[in-house]
């Protein structure tokens, strides 16, 4: 090829590359023709339009931290003048309150509830449900960072911890039926007419697995652990209430499907989430513990001393302390002066002084002691406590009448289940539960 032809082709190639570069720059200019301020202002306008667009406002089930807490339903009706009407199922007060909000500009657009309303109950550090959340409150926020819209929902993330919150369009029924969430709460807690024991049962259409199930009403949080040897799956989930059941987060994953909406059946007290192809998850009652251990044997005659103690300040709110136990406990306390309530129920096995229950009180009131003997029901794996005598540390006394209903449950002739639990509560002490074999009496104790 002649030299002049080489130069000709080289010049043509350079010209083509130059023209292509010019076109690409034009496209880039079009992509970035908006300044950051313009883009943020457009987002602000977009969010404002969305908030005002729903006739009955918006609903959000706010799971502030689904590793420790459940969900709290909030309803919002935004107005052009910067006010918002709000209601929630945080507690029994489901009334509607008005406050102010603002769409604020920063590094991103945020929805901020600028004056106090129901949403702020989740962010107050001095309002906490359990000691572990002292000075942290319910881990909630009142500033939501705007992340766009999807399928008609508005997506936010909490400024405090990045938790996602989704606003879905509310209906007139959502406002009218909000109080029914708290009726459903009682179904989740379970009445004394239902069995004490619960399980979560999952099926993928062919294989069924069972998990224990415990629920804490103060945190709206449930824990479920497999009861099958060699199958170590657990489902720990926050629970939110609806008029027809519950919604859980994170979802229960079964057969590759995520199940989060459980429907309540009043006939048997169950909650069922149904997928496709036979997939489902069901929370239901059981008439006996899912796992019956041999732990009771450690408390029988001839064994080393064992002391277990229900300490009111730490264990009254434990999820394994049953409502029925607390009812009897509160009734006994109601007969006492305000400064002399029960602080401990401490049970001694095989001590130097024998077996006895010590009822310890505040305010200088002296302890009383119920002495007993033990026997075993090995067939059903239960321990039986049999009455011997009462004393005050120095002399025998008549049985205290105010303790009768509470104390009688420890002396159920059918016996008690004793179980060493896998979890801890505030301290490193082992936890033992003491459970009636015939009713919903269960207390939670530390091993001392």
Q: Are 417 and 296 in contact (CB under 8 A)?
A: yes
90 vs 106, which has greater pLDDT?
90
- Can the peptide bond before residue 250 be classed as cis, meaning omega within 30 degrees of 0? yes
Rg (CA), the chain: 30
163 vs 323, which has greater pLDDT?
163
pLDDT reading at 57 higher than 90 = yes
Q: Are 164 and 241 in contact (CB under 8 A)?
A: no
Q: Name the DSSP class of 97.
A: E
Burial of 48 (0-12, 13-18, 19+ CB in 10 A): middle
Q: What is the pLDDT of residue 33?
A: 59
Query: Average per-residue pLDDT in the chain?
Result: 91
Average of pLDDT values for 288-295? 88
Average of pLDDT values for 293-311? 96
Average of pLDDT values for 161-184? 97
Average of pLDDT values for 242-259? 97
Strand locations in 7-142 (E): 58-63, 71-78, 83-88, 97-105, 109-113
Average of pLDDT values for 242-254? 97
Question: Per-residue confidence at 243, pLDDT binned at 50, 70, 90?
Answer: very high
Question: Per-residue confidence at 6, pLDDT binned at 50, 70, 90?
Answer: very low
Q: What is the pLDDT of residue 27?
A: 43
Burial of 371 (0-12, 13-18, 19+ CB in 10 A): middle
Q: What is the pLDDT of residue 4?
A: 45
Tens-digit pLDDT profile for residues 58-76? 999 999 999 999 999 999 9
Six-digit token string for 315: 């264990």
Which residue shows structure tokens 């449950």? 409
Exposure string of 172-184, with b = 16+ CB inside 10 Å and e = fewer, is eebbeebebbeeb
Q: Give the range among 18-22, 367-371, 388-392, 425-429 with minimum mean pLDDT.
A: 18-22
């Amino acid at each position: 090829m002649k030299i002049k032809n080489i130069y000709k082709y080289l010049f043509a190639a350079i010209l083509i590359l130059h023209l292509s570069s010019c076109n690409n720059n034009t496209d880039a200019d079009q992509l970035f023709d908006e300044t950051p301020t313009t883009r943020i202002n457009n987002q602000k306008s977009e969010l404002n339009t969305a908030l005002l667009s729903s006739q009955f406002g918006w609903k959000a089930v706010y799971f502030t931290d689904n590793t420790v807490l459940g969900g709290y339903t909030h309803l919002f009706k935004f107005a052009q003048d910067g006010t918002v009407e709000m209601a929630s199922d945080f507690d029994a007060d489901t009334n509607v309150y008005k406050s102010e909000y603002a769409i604020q500009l920063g590094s991103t657009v945020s929805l901020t509830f600028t004056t106090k309303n129901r949403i702020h109950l989740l962010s107050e550090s001095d309002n906490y449900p359990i000691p572990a959340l002292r000075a942290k409150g319910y881990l909630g926020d009142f500033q939501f960072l705007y992340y766009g819209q999807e399928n008609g929902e508005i997506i936010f993330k909490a400024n405090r911890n990045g938790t996602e919150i989704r606003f879905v369009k509310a209906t007139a029924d959502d406002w009218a039926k909000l109080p029914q969430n708290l009726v459903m709460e009682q179904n989740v807690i379970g009445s004394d007419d239902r069995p004490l024991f619960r399980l979560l049962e999952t099926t993928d259409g062919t294989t069924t697995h069972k998990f224990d199930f415990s629920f804490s009403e103060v945190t709206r949080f449930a824990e479920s652990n497999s009861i099958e040897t060699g199958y170590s799956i657990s489902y720990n989930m926050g629970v939110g209430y609806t008029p027809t059941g519950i919604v859980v987060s994170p979802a229960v994953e079964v057969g590759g499907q995520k199940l989060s909406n459980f429907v309540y059946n009043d006939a048997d007290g169950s909650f069922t989430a149904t997928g496709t192809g036979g997939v489902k998850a069901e929370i239901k009652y059981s008439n006996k513990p899912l796992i019956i251990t041999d732990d009771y044997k450690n408390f029988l005659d001839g064994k080393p001393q064992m002391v277990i103690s229900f300490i009111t300040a730490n264990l009254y709110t434990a999820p394994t302390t049953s409502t029925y136990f607390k009812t009897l406990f509160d009734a006994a306390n109601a007969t006492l002066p305000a400064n002399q309530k029960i602080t401990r129920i401490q049970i001694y096995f095989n001590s130097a002084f024998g077996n006895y229950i010590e009822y310890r009180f505040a305010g200088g009131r002296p302890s009383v002691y119920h002495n007993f003997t033990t026997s075993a029901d090995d067939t059903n794996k239960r321990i039986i406590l049999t009455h011997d005598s009462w004393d005050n540390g120095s002399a025998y006394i008549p049985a205290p009448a105010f303790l009768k209903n509470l104390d009688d449950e420890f002396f159920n002739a059918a016996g008690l289940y004793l179980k060493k639990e896998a979890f801890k509560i505030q301290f490193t002490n082992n936890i033992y539960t003491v459970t009636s074999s015939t009713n919903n009496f269960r207390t939670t104790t530390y091993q001392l």
